[in-house]
Amino acid sequence: MVNDDTKIFVAGHRGMVGSAIVRELNLQGFKNIITYSHEDLDLTNQLMVREFFNKENPDQVYLAAARVGGIHANNSYPAEFIYDNLMIESNVIEASFKAGVKKLLFLGSSCIYPKFATQPISENSLLSGYLECTNEPYAIAKIAGIKLCESFNRQYGDSHNVDYRSVMPTNLYGLGDNYHSENSHVIPALIRRIHEAKEKSLYSVSIWGSGNPKREFLYVDDLARACIHVMNIDLSTYRKNTDEMCSHLNVGFGEDITIKQLARIIKDVIGFKGKLVFDPSKPDGSPRKLLDSTRINNLGWKPRVKLKEGIELAYEGYLNSPK
């Protein structure tokens, strides 16, 4: 039974997704939330993770910890992206089971789907084709996390009441985003670059790629609401809307937009008067990624924050963040 005393561990609480989940849990009245910094708990260290679970014995786990980044970061550090993410999810999921945790939610990514998957992308598209090469190591790790959850459910669901679920969010943005000059995703990268161009009164801003690929974007607080909603759906309802070998749920906004259109919205929000110059010699990534979120919509969740409103909130957060 879930109540405001349910002991909840949020792994990765300092990241954009983890911090949003903590904010939303607090808003919904949950009082017993456990968070540990990386300095106190290295999730790639199996012994530390096992000792933590034996000590804290949480009731629920939100696994939002991950090594993340944009195209440049994925291309530059493929070994770290696959190793760190495999270790984090393997250690946390296995230690959760050993400590008797019944409820866990794993956070994946829409990059798990094939590069040329039929649009909008349904959950059944998983493992149906080749992945986008620029983030394949990260995608492989996230696919492994889904299958870890499914495997523990299949083997221990009935005997140990294990109920480990997965959600696959589309491209996220919002408070707590990473605005690193090289390792950030598209919205924070554009916010930083266009803001700096405005501050320096530059004539133009150069943007990677042709600008033609289409992407879907979800404000991170909407994802947090989805995570808590999915975690607490009763098991019989969850099983009716999923399959034991395809149990993850897409979490998307429901509409996509070209990178050119996105850049123009960000330009308008920031008030930059110069030109946007696209560089087609740089990689575009997948031509389109729009998730089919029918399953989670049917389970009672829908996004609240429109794109321009979300970008305004994100830009305000950027201006207030330490530089």
Catalytic residue set: 138
First to last CA, the chain: 43
Residue 229's closest CA among 25, 82, 11? 25
| Alpha helices per DSSP H over 99-247 | 136-160, 186-199, 220-231, 235-240
* H/E segment holding residue 215: strand 214-215
CA pair distance 26, 28, nearest whole angstrom: 5
DSSP state of 233: S
Which residue has 């990473």 as its token pair? 178
- Provide the sign of the torsion angle of the four alpha carbons 93, 49, 64, 86, taken in this order: negative
Q: How far, in Å, are 13, 46, 89, 161, 219 from residue 224 at the CA level?
A: 12, 27, 19, 25, 9
CA pair distance 281, 208, nearest whole angstrom: 8
> What contacts 192, CB < 8 A, 6 or more positions away?
179, 181, 184, 318
What's the gap between Cα 55 and its chain centre? 28
Amino acid at 275: K
